[in-house]
A = this chain, B = another copy of it.
Amino acid sequence: MTTVESGKLVRTQGVTGPLGFRAAGIAAGIKASGNPDLALVFSEGPDYAAAGVFTRNQVKAAPVLWSQQVLSSGRLRAVILNSGGANACTGPGGFQDTHRTAEELATALSNWGTETGAGEIAVCSTGLIGDRLPMDKLIPAVTEIVHEMGGGLSGGLDAAYAIMTTDTVPKEAAFHHNDKWNVGGMAKGAGMLAPSLATMLVVLTTDARATPEQLDQALRNATRLTFDRLDVDGSCSTNDTVLLLANGASAVTPSQAELDAAVLAVCDDLATQLMADAEGITKRVLVTVTGALTEDEALIAARAVARDSLVKTALFGSDPNWGRVLAAVGIAPITLDPNRISVSFNGNSVCVDGVGAPGAREVDLSGMDIEVRIALNVGDGSATIRTTDLSHGYVEENSAYSS
């Protein structure tokens, strides 16, 4: 539990941390393993404001196309998520499957007592690209999961379990504001814009009162600083989705700044959990670039280093090979002066003004956490990317696992 001035952050609660949200996770039989693979997040209202951020990949999965369309209304009553299949590159038939899933859920929720339209339901999928979903299993499970919805915390945890693919642990976080309103969230995968394997999915909930525009601003601000700066392997999924639902159940209307801070706190914690559980990880790596001409250039440079296979393999080997860091920075399309670059590993100076520092080859990087700091000394821009090493485990998992 992290206590800050305005409230407390906990990892024992997720999407059902805020008031007036129900959730569930069940095994629909999509995964061959029989593990849970279908999750539902449901808002009891009274408001149904929502915002979303989606993958920038031009190849977008059917559920992304559907949910983008639904979100144009700024309104969501429920999110249905499946693991075990991405429903990407599945053509018009795949889109019809997504549409039908939303329709079936709308009917089930209406029969259950809450009049709901398919246009109020977002759909998320994650798993192998290219195969149609087993609708014969999915459709009955959509009705079943409505009856499983719990209002307590276990519903949120069940949902967090059901969206896992290669994740080894569920990821939840909730922020309780001192003024009696809350933001909760769950996540799977390993990185927005640059996730490992198929997808990063995040659902955030809040019982604050907020307009779709306020939610959109809070969400874009938070993803820019958290999931956008988590880069495991530079790949970008067809299915990445981050949703934020607000139901106003707390009856509190926070300021934009308060809302921004709370959403950022939950996203930042979920991003930390995603990095810690990334595939094949043996090192948690922070790459910070300071003194760039602009924040954007700092980000480009940090991302170039975080994506460099030679830097990542050196870190896997606990090798303080700072020359590879300079070579990686040098190909970033930014303003720099090779003779003014300084680098430190975990606070130990390894390169000063473009030249090796005494003792640089002896820096001990055998621990799990490595901070790479690169000072360009040409301006005031700075940015940090969270990444991992490139290990045998990464190669093993991604060559042996088809997803």
A134 at the interface (CB under 8 A from B): no
A53 at the interface (CB under 8 A from B): no
Task: For A309, list chain B residues within 8 Å (CB).
Answer: 233-235, 309, 390, 394, 398
- Contacts A58-B338, A235-B331, A309-B394 supplied; 6 other A-B pairs, CB < 8 Å: A58-B329, A234-B309, A235-B324, A309-B398, A316-B395, A317-B400
Asked if B321 and A402 make an inter-chain contact with CB atoms under 8 angstroms apart, the answer reads yes
Kindly name the residue among A91, A330, A390 whose own CB sees the greatest number of chain B CB atoms within 10 A.
Answer: A330
A67 at the interface (CB under 8 A from B): no
Kindly name the residue among A57, A323, A351, A400 whose own CB sees the greatest number of chain B CB atoms within 10 A.
Answer: A323
Give Cα A196–Cα B59 distance, bound, in whole angstroms.
30
Give Cα A307–Cα B310 distance, bound, in whole angstroms.
13
A137 at the interface (CB under 8 A from B): no
Q: From B59, B88, B307, B331, give the contact of A236 (CB < 8 A).
A: B331
Asked if B131 and A356 make an inter-chain contact with CB atoms under 8 angstroms apart, the answer reads yes
A224 at the interface (CB under 8 A from B): no
Which B-chain residue is minimally distant from A131 (CB atoms)? B356
Asked if A317 and B236 make an inter-chain contact with CB atoms under 8 angstroms apart, the answer reads no
A328 at the interface (CB under 8 A from B): yes
Task: For A319, list chain B residues within 8 Å (CB).
Answer: 399, 402
Give Cα A324–Cα B196 distance, bound, in whole angstroms.
11
Given known A-B contacts A313-B399, A338-B60, A356-B130, A86 and B323 have beta carbons under 8 A apart: yes
A70 at the interface (CB under 8 A from B): no
- Shortest 7 CB-CB distances between A and B: which pairs? A129-B323, A317-B399, A59-B330, A313-B398, A91-B355, A57-B330, A130-B356
Give Cα A314–Cα B91 distance, bound, in whole angstroms.
23
A354 at the interface (CB under 8 A from B): yes
Q: From B130, B235, B399, give the contact of A328 (CB < 8 A).
A: B235
Interface CB pairs A-B, < 8 A, 24: A57-B331, A58-B338, A86-B323, A88-B323, A88-B327, A89-B323, A128-B323, A129-B321, A129-B323, A130-B356, A196-B310, A197-B310, A233-B310, A235-B308, A235-B309, A236-B327, A313-B399, A314-B398, A314-B402, A316-B395, A317-B399, A319-B402, A391-B395, A392-B396
Residue ranges of A at the interface with B (Cβ–Cβ < 8 Å): 56-60, 86, 88-91, 128-131, 196-197, 233-238, 307-310, 313-314, 316-317, 319, 321-324, 326-331, 336, 338-339, 341, 351, 353-356, 360-361, 390-392, 394-396, 398-400, 402
Given known A-B contacts A319-B399, A338-B60, A402-B321, A89 and B331 have beta carbons under 8 A apart: no
Task: For A400, list chain B residues within 8 Å (CB).
Answer: 317
Asked if A57 and B327 make an inter-chain contact with CB atoms under 8 angstroms apart, the answer reads yes
Give Cα A128–Cα B321 distance, bound, in whole angstroms.
9
Task: For A234, list chain B residues within 8 Å (CB).
Answer: 307-309
Give Cα A316–Cα B401 distance, bound, in whole angstroms.
12
Give Cα A184–Cα B268 distance, bound, in whole angstroms.
57
Asked if A235 and B310 make an inter-chain contact with CB atoms under 8 angstroms apart, the answer reads yes
Give Cα A321–Cα B129 distance, bound, in whole angstroms.
8
Asked if B399 and A395 make an inter-chain contact with CB atoms under 8 angstroms apart, the answer reads no
Task: For A322, list chain B residues within 8 Å (CB).
Answer: 129-130
Give Cα A128–Cα B356 distance, bound, in whole angstroms.
12
Asked if A394 and B313 make an inter-chain contact with CB atoms under 8 angstroms apart, the answer reads yes
Which B-chain residue is minimally distant from A323 (CB atoms)? B129
Q: From B129, B307, B356, give the contact of A89 (CB < 8 A).
A: B356
Given known A-B contacts A327-B129, A354-B91, A402-B321, A58 and B235 have beta carbons under 8 A apart: no
CB distance from A57 to the nearest CB of B (A): 4
CB distance from A202 to the nearest CB of B (A): 19
CB distance from A80 to the nearest CB of B (A): 22
Asked if A331 and B395 make an inter-chain contact with CB atoms under 8 angstroms apart, the answer reads no
Which B-chain residue is minimally distant from A239 (CB atoms)? B327
